[in-house]
Chains A and B, each alone.
Chain A
Amino acid sequence: MSEQVPVLQARGLVKRYGKVTAIDGADFDLLPGEILAVVGDNGAGKSSLIKALSGAVVPDAGEILVDGEAVRFSGPLDARRHGIETVYQDLALAPAQDIATNVFLGRERRRSGPLGSVFRLLDAGGMRAEAARILGELDIKIKSMTQAVETLSGGQRQGIAVARAAAFGSRVVIMDEPTAALGVAESAKVLDLIQRIRDRGLPVVLISHNMPHVFEIADRVHVHRLGRRVGVVSPRERTMNEVVGLITGALALSDNGELVEVYR
């Protein structure tokens, strides 16, 4: 095992909704520079775990650590302030507004001097240029920053949301099912984009149902079952069938890292 300090870490997280336990003592580790896939069945509690890590849900117990230091997130803005950006499944874009506006939504830049401080004038040109630079850097091809987001394809919209997260995330980018709504060609582009973000040194948490996608790009796979982590495996050492076995509970990971069949 490496001695690296995890960028984002969780210990014994618990979240209950009435009688339902969504997170049941879950652990989580994201190492620097990796793509960590989080997989699990529907209802396994992946979304709740991710929401806790992105600040959208406040856990009842357990702790979250950023670069080894305990933090408390009481809202998405807290996580963001720690450099953790999330790409939500429905993207959180304003469809009628243009690309530059969407990239800077909620953190607009004003002009310097009295125009900005007194007249609150936005630096529209600067934001357009910066948005174009961000998209260009990630090789997302869009002709005009003044195009409304609703005129873009699903993959291009995903690109905008991912680029926004990559541009402002200084520590972690979390992506919730980024390829779920996309066709084959567009999915390939988004996977490519995720790898480019990783290659720039930003670790990525990828929540996905799509096993081939996970095996294509993930460095490690976190398997979630019944509200907790049941194991972390390397996609190079394990097969998709073995990971599916862990997800369904047909297989379990023993203490020495061996896969054992579970008989019930």
Chain B
Amino acid sequence: MSTKTKGNVSEFVLRTPAVGPAIALVAAVVVFSLTTNTFLDSDNLSLIVQQSLVVGTLALGQTLVILTGGIDLANAATAVLGTLLMAKLVVGGVPGTVALVTGIAAAVAIGALIGGIVTGASLPPFIVTLGMLTIVTAVSRIYAEGRSYPVTDDTLAFLGTRQYLFGHVEVTVGMGLALLMFVGAWYALTKTAWGKHVYAVGNDPEAARLSGINVRRTVLSVYVVAGLVYGIAAWQALGRVPNADPNAFQMGNLDSITAVVLGGTSLFGGRGSVIGTLVGALIVAVLRSGLTQAGIDSLYQDVATGVLVIVAVAVDRFSRRKQR
């Protein structure tokens, strides 16, 4: 009886990979609430969420790519180019809405290009996106002409619009949009045939092909959707800090992978969830905030994050090996 319950619990955890990270997140929140006076403050909690919006959105696109067994090193660079396009176009007199759409369209186009090369030439996504990272970063710097572009346009800064719940809890429009995107991605991945195909392709591409799934079209669609998500990440970035800087988010690609891995998604593809990624992004932000308030230097925070990533992957591996 007790072994059966135990089996069911471990099976549940295995089938719902976000449970482990969620427990870790709650544990971190409890520890920091008890050890610092300021952590549980509503301003601080709001700040934590705001700080994780951009990396969280990048990580959402990254999750889709990783689920197919790929990886995207160019996601943050794509978003940075998006912010520059949006901001510089407005400086040049283009209406904010047009600039916004252009920036997002550019991110979609980069996603389509990456997906086209990955599926058309059957090249490893790691290499394709590494090359694209270099190219897009260079293009951003050329386009920026050595400076950054402050944003004054209301449309571009819209996601940073603040509202106060219950009179004092600060929320932004960007938070609502991020939540909506995560719920939308969760729905598409778990409730539609497209999502089933994304998982199947990441699980075993040959089995997916023999089952009648168009593997190339599925993978291509994932890179295009991911590009759209990165375009929106660019908008989120301008809402958070109204300044487009070609040198921003240089570690954004790796930070997004960190969030994905902490959220329990397998780098080998076919296993994981976007809800896990949301939790993973929050874990990083909570850890940094809590350690800051405990007076720990940011370099040591990096060490802690790195340790956490390795532990997360090790735990994932160990639980799976035991299962077999």
Are A94 and B207 within 8 A (Cβ)? yes
Kindly provide the distance from the CB of B323 to the nearest chain A CB, expressed in whole angstroms: 8
B residues in contact with A151, CB < 8 Å = 11, 323
B residues in contact with A107, CB < 8 Å = 212
- Whether B168 sits at the interface, judged by CB under 8 Å, is no
- Whether B192 sits at the interface, judged by CB under 8 Å, is yes
Kindly provide the distance from the CB of B154 to the nearest chain A CB, expressed in whole angstroms: 32
Are B193 and A92 within 8 A (Cβ)? no
A122→B194 CA distance, assembly (Å) = 10
Which residue of B194, B206, B323 contacts A120 across the interface (Cβ within 8 Å)?
A: B194
A residues in contact with B181, CB < 8 Å = none
Interface mask (A134-163 → B, CB under 8 Å = 1, otherwise 0): 000000000000101011000000000000
- Whether B208 sits at the interface, judged by CB under 8 Å, is yes
The answer to whether A94 and B200 touch (CB under 8 A), given A105-B208, A148-B15, is yes
Interface mask (B193-212 → A, CB under 8 Å = 1, otherwise 0): 11011011001101110111
Which residue of A77, A86, A90, A146 contacts B207 across the interface (Cβ within 8 Å)?
A: A90
Q: How many residues of A contact B (CB 8 A)?
A: 28
Q: Of A95-103, A181-189, A197-205, A241-249, which binds chain B?
A: A95-103
A91→B203 CA distance, assembly (Å) = 13
Main secondary structure of the interface of B (DSSP, over half): helix
A76→B213 CA distance, assembly (Å) = 11
Interface mask (A69-108 → B, CB under 8 Å = 1, otherwise 0): 0000000110010000010101111111100010001111
Are B194 and A105 within 8 A (Cβ)? no
The answer to whether A92 and B191 touch (CB under 8 A), given A105-B213, A106-B213, is no
- Whether A124 sits at the interface, judged by CB under 8 Å, is yes
Interface mask (B59-90 → A, CB under 8 Å = 1, otherwise 0): 00000000000000000000000000000000
The answer to whether A97 and B193 touch (CB under 8 A), given A80-B212, A92-B206, A105-B213, is no
Within 8 A of A (CB), among B1-38: 11, 14-15
A residues in contact with B15, CB < 8 Å = 146, 148
- Whether A110 sits at the interface, judged by CB under 8 Å, is yes
Are B200 and A108 within 8 A (Cβ)? no
Which residue of A77, A95, A122 contacts B196 across the interface (Cβ within 8 Å)?
A: A122
Interface mask (A51-73 → B, CB under 8 Å = 1, otherwise 0): 00000100000000000000000
Kindly provide the distance from the CB of A87 to the nearest chain B CB, expressed in whole angstroms: 10
- Whether A121 sits at the interface, judged by CB under 8 Å, is yes
The residue in chain A whose Cβ has the minimal distance to the Cβ of B193 is: A108
Are A108 and B199 within 8 A (Cβ)? no
- Whether B270 sits at the interface, judged by CB under 8 Å, is yes
A122→B195 CA distance, assembly (Å) = 10
B residues in contact with A150, CB < 8 Å = 324
A95→B193 CA distance, assembly (Å) = 17
Are B191 and A121 within 8 A (Cβ)? yes
Which of A93, A97, A105: most chain B CB closer than 10 A? A105
Which residue of B188, B203, B206 contacts A97 across the interface (Cβ within 8 Å)?
A: B203
Are A106 and B212 within 8 A (Cβ)? yes
A214→B312 CA distance, assembly (Å) = 49
B residues in contact with A56, CB < 8 Å = 210
- Whether B271 sits at the interface, judged by CB under 8 Å, is yes
Kindly provide the distance from the CB of A152 to the nearest chain B CB, expressed in whole angstroms: 12
Within 8 A of A (CB), among B196-239: 196-197, 199-200, 203-204, 206-208, 210-213
The answer to whether A105 and B200 touch (CB under 8 A), given A88-B210, A92-B211, A93-B207, is yes
Kindly provide the distance from the CB of A164 to the nearest chain B CB, expressed in whole angstroms: 9
Kindly provide the distance from the CB of B228 to the nearest chain A CB, expressed in whole angstroms: 17
B residues in contact with A97, CB < 8 Å = 196, 199-200, 203
A86→B197 CA distance, assembly (Å) = 20
By a beta-carbon cutoff of 8 Å, the part of chain A in contact with chain B is: 56, 76-77, 80, 86, 88, 90-97, 101, 105-108, 110, 120-122, 124, 146, 148, 150-151
By a beta-carbon cutoff of 8 Å, the part of chain B in contact with chain A is: 11, 14-15, 188, 191-194, 196-197, 199-200, 203-204, 206-208, 210-213, 270-271, 323-324
Sort A-B residue pairs by CB-CB distance and give the 9 closest, nearest first: A106-B212, A92-B210, A108-B193, A106-B211, A94-B203, A92-B207, A94-B200, A105-B211, A120-B192
